């Protein structure tokens, strides 16, 4: 590339960044251009830094999660005044962490837009302030630093010890906790009501992300046809998906089930018709004759043996024509969807492996799963939900 192009490209980018409103996308063309640019950024970076440097940075990338984990664990964000500064000395006193470790860690965090230094003191950036202002985002950061980051670091050891394991206890997570092969993530989280609440919030935050919005589930399925029917949200966490469905279709009765105690997961959603129930989805489904049993982000937690067990446990409750509706992601063929979306779903697949011995699935794997569980399940369809990265996968009980 000629030096001119670099100079003009840098000037154009600088100019655009100086006027952030110029990067807002409203027309369809602009929206597409925005997504194209996001996909081009890593390619541009690789082209500018070169392959050697690119690989070097890739091997280094986990190191930049460390200050995020530290900020989360030490509760730094809430100690920094919203519109002022705090000294390292005061932060050290409040967190119980030495001043020198704090300074090193926070200066590292500052390279990722978290906090900045003003007159030698620590102040918030708009990004770090979100950790205080958005407790759902804070819960997401907590889950990913305290569960996923730890598990990923031990996954190679787990794979060596238990190659191809389908057991949710044989994971990087159980090794990270010093209980190899003994503890599954959900067993651990269920012990602690605070972490249970945080997990629900983290999932709710995840589902507010671009392409994961629960509106696609509400708008992408003909709930209205069920009239005054009953819908069971299996593994529904704090019920935010049910709440969205219930608000849009007030005639429906929603039942949220989760392994965790009702008092730990229950949230009051005014104007909704929701019942709460503690239920282990590996045991027979207690709600008989519902119209739809839906599982959102549940099956990717499980390998196929566990997933078929879950589908079989529903059978005693199913009336003829009842539907199983799965709202999950689909693994694409390599290179067939946008880079950013493919990277996100493959990243999630890696988290499932590291934390739970679970996995994301392709369309044919979903079809096979129903076949394997019981021949009376008729696979109906798998299609992307509208404007979403999530899919709707549906089967009918014909027994």
Ligand X SMILES: C[S@@+](CC[C@H](N)C(=O)[O-])C[C@H]1O[C@@H](n2cnc3c(N)ncnc32)[C@H](O)[C@@H]1O
| Residue ranges that bind ligand X, judged by CB under 6 A | 186, 203, 207, 235-237, 241, 258-260, 279-282, 296-298, 301
Q: Would you please indicate which residues are annotated as catalytic (active-site) residues? A: 300
Nearer to ligand X, 230 or 285 (CB): 285
Nearer to ligand X, 72 or 310 (CB): 310
Nearer to ligand X, 155 or 204 (CB): 204
Which residue is nearest to ligand X, using beta carbons?
235
Q: Are 142 and 160 in contact (CB under 8 A)?
A: no
Q: Are 394 and 380 in contact (CB under 8 A)?
A: yes
Nearer to ligand X, 70 or 147 (CB): 147
Q: How far is the CB of 236 from ligand X (least distance, A)?
A: 5
Q: How far is the CB of 387 from ligand X (least distance, A)?
A: 17
Nearer to ligand X, 140 or 297 (CB): 297
**100 to each of 85, 97, 106, 108, 372, how far by Cα in Å?**
18, 8, 10, 12, 57
User: What's the CA gap between 324 and 292, in Å, rounded?
Assistant: 6
The three-class DSSP label of residue 271 is coil
User: What's the CA gap between 392 and 383, in Å, rounded?
Assistant: 6
User: What's the CA gap between 258 and 159, in Å, rounded?
Assistant: 29
Q: How far is the CB of 161 from ligand X (least distance, A)?
A: 23
The alpha carbon of residue 66 and the mean position of all alpha carbons in its chain are separated, in whole angstroms, by 19
Q: How far is the CB of 160 from ligand X (least distance, A)?
A: 26
User: What's the CA gap between 95 and 285, in Å, rounded?
Assistant: 46
User: What's the CA gap between 255 and 97, in Å, rounded?
Assistant: 45
User: What's the CA gap between 189 and 148, in Å, rounded?
Assistant: 13
Nearer to ligand X, 115 or 297 (CB): 297
Q: How many CB atoms lie within 10 A of CB 368?
A: 15
Q: How far is the CB of 304 from ligand X (least distance, A)?
A: 16
Identify which of 185, 178, 213 has the alpha carbon closest to the alpha carbon of residue 296: 213
Q: 351 φ, ψ to 5°?
A: -65, -40
CB proximity list for 123: less than 8 A, separation 6 or greater:
80, 81, 84, 85, 86, 115, 116, 117
Nearer to ligand X, 70 or 170 (CB): 170
* Terminal-residue alpha carbon distance, the chain: 65
Q: How far is the CB of 280 from ligand X (least distance, A)?
A: 4
Q: How far is the CB of 388 from ligand X (least distance, A)?
A: 13
- Residue 177, class by beta-carbon neighbours within 10 Å (0-12 exposed, 13-18 middle, 19+ buried)? middle
């Amino acid at each position: 590339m000629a030096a001119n192009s670099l100079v003009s490209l840098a000037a154009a980018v600088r100019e655009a960044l100086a006027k952030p409103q110029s990067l807002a996308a409203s027309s369809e063309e602009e929206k597409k251009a925005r997504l194209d640019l996001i996909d081009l950024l890593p390619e541009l970076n690789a082209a500018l830094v070169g392959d050697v440097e690119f690989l070097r940075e890739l091997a280094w990338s986990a190191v930049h999660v460390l200050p995020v984990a530290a900020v989360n664990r030490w509760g730094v964000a809430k100690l920094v005044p919203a519109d002022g500064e705090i000294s390292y000395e005061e932060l050290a006193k409040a967190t119980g962490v030495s001043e020198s470790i704090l300074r090193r860690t926070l200066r590292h965090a500052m390279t990722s837009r978290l906090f900045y230094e003003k007159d030698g003191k620590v102040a918030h950036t708009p990004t770090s302030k979100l950790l205080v202002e958005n407790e759902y985002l804070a819960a997401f950061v907590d889950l990913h630093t305290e569960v996923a980051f730890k598990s990923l670091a031990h996954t190679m050891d787990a794979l060596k010890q238990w190659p191809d394991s389908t057991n949710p206890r044989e994971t990087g997570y159980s090794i990270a906790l010093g209980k190899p092969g003994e503890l599954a993530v959900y067993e651990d989280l269920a012990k602690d009501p605070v972490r249970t609440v945080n997990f629900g919030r983290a999932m709710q935050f995840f589902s507010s992300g671009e392409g994961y919005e629960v509106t696609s589930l509400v708008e992408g399925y003909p709930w209205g046809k069920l009239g005054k029917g009953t819908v069971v949200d299996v593994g529904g966490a704090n019920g935010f998906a049910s709440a969205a469905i219930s608000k849009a279709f007030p005639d429906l009765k929603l039942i949220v089930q989760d392994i965790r105690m009702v008092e730990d997961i229950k949230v009051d959603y005014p104007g909704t018709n929701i019942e709460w129930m503690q239920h282990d989805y590996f045991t027979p489904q207690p709600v008989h004759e519902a119209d739809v049993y839906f599982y959102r982000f549940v099956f990717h937690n499980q390998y196929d043996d566990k997933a078929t067990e879950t589908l079989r446990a529903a059978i005693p409750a199913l009336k003829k024509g009842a539907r199983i509706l799965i709202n999950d992601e689909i693994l694409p063929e390599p290179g067939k969807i946008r880079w950013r979306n493919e990277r996100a779903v493959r990243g999630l697949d890696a988290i499932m492996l590291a934390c739970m011995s679970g996995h994301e699935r392709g369309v044919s794997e979903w079809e096979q799963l129903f076949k394997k569980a019981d021949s009376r399940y008729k696979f109906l369809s798998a299609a992307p939900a509208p404007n979403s990265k999530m899919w709707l996968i549906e089967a009918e009980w014909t027994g």
